[in-house]
Amino acid sequence: MLDATLVSACELCELARTTTWYAQYDEPFRFAIVDCDSCDVPMAVLGMHRAAPTDDERAVIQAALTAIADTKYPEGWYFDDHMRQIPDHYHLHARPYPKWWRRRA
């Protein structure tokens, strides 16, 4: 069982509207797509405090984030779900390829 004080201190659970919000979903489960306040890239945030989504949830989240990232980064982008600062609340970044990163066709 999660400690209520830990959850209440979670920045992602709070989801204060301090950055751009692209979408908020309640079905088939709760999640939102917002700009990360640390790195200014679109990020999907699971609507419940846990470290990993199910495979089905991950597929839905990736599809929704893809629609945003394809528009924002027409030159290419990739998923990054390495949760550095908040490792216990699942979130997924869509990062643009660095200019030096040479993509293979």
Flag whether the pTM goes above 0.75. Answer: yes
Helix, coil or strand: residue 95: strand
Q: Are 92 and 43 in contact (CB under 8 A)?
A: yes
Distance CA 4, CA 9 (A): 9
3-34 pLDDT, tens digit per residue, is 344 455 788 888 778 889 999 999 999 999 99
44-82 pLDDT, tens digit per residue, is 999 999 999 999 999 999 999 999 999 999 999 999 999
Element (DSSP H or E) covering residue 63: helix 55-72
Distance CA 75, CA 32 (A): 24
pLDDT for 12 equals 86
pLDDT, average across residues 29-43: 93
Domains and CATH numbers, the chain: 4-96 (3.30.428.10)
pLDDT for 67 equals 97
Does residue 43 surpass a pLDDT of 80?
yes
Torsional sign, CA 81, 86, 91, 94: negative
Confidence of residue 102 (pLDDT cuts 50, 70, 90): low
Does residue 35 surpass a pLDDT of 80?
yes
